[in-house]
Amino acid sequence: MKHPQTVAIVTLGCARNEVDSEELAGRLTAAGWELVDDPGDASAVLVNTCGFVEVAKKDSIDAVLAVAD
């Protein structure tokens, strides 16, 4: 039996991003992915973020760099 790929979704930003992440989670699980909470336990990490304001851009970059470590 093949184990499913695992993915963690990190969501930053507004309520719209939360809705988008929920939609992505549903599509990923329907495609056979297993959602995990800890990015360190995932074979892939999806960072859903926003870059409309400078502070959000910095937070986004910091989040991507953190999960890349």
H or E segment to which residue 41 belongs: none
Q: Answer yes or no: is 22 within a domain.
A: yes
Q: Answer yes or no: is 1 within a domain.
A: no
Do the strands 6-11 and 44-48 form a parallel or antiparallel pair, or are they unpaired? parallel
Q: Answer yes or no: is 23 within a domain.
A: yes
Q: For the segment 19-66, what is each residue's pLDDT rounded down to a tens digit? A: 999 999 999 999 999 999 999 999 999 999 887 788 888 888 998 999
Give the structural domain span for 61.
Answer: 6-68
SS3 content of the chain, % helix, strand, coil (to 5): 50, 20, 30
Chain centroid to Cα 66, Å, comes to 12
Residue 52 · residue 60 · CB < 8 Å: no
Residue 2: predicted pLDDT: 65
What is the count of structural domains for the chain? 1
Segment 6-19 mean pLDDT:
92
Q: Global pTM?
A: 0.83
Residue 5: predicted pLDDT: 95
